[in-house]
Structure 1
Amino acid sequence: MSLATHLEELQRKHGDLDREIDTAMSHPSVDDLEIASLKRRKLAIKDEIEKLKATTTTH
């Protein structure tokens, strides 16, 4: 998998998680721990995206 493809996949997953969080927050029955878990996963993906972008700009 090329770096560009990997970045695109991570960005897609980040967007998917964003939509999933929005959906979960609109339902009062969703557990706050589940939302927190989704947000942590989204942040981890964002961090990975930023790390990969930084790597590509230094090379």
Structure 2
Amino acid sequence: MTTEGHIAALERRHQELDRQIEAELHNSKADSLTVTALKRKKLEIKDALNKFSMTG
């Protein structure tokens, strides 16, 4: 996978996690541990994207 392809995949995953977080927060039975895990994963992806922008 090219660097651009990898970045695009990370961006799509970041957006998907954002949608999952929003859906979980709007759920009347929202699980705070699930939301926290999703937010942590989203932050990891953001950090990876930032590393690519610093090296590119």
TM, length-normalised to structure 2? 0.96
1:20 equivalent to 2:26? Answer: no
* Runs of 4+ with >4 A deviation: none
Structure 2 gaps of 5+ residues are none
Structure 1 gaps of 5+ residues are none
Query: What displacement does 1:28 show?
Result: 2.0
Q: Which has the larger radius of gyration?
A: 1
Aligned residues: 56
CA distance in 2, matches of 1:43, 1:13: 11
TM, length-normalised to structure 1? 0.91
Percent identity at matched positions?
A: 38
RMSD: 0.6
Q: For residue 32 of structure 1, what is the aligned residue in structure 2?
A: 32
- Counterpart amino acid of 1:24? E
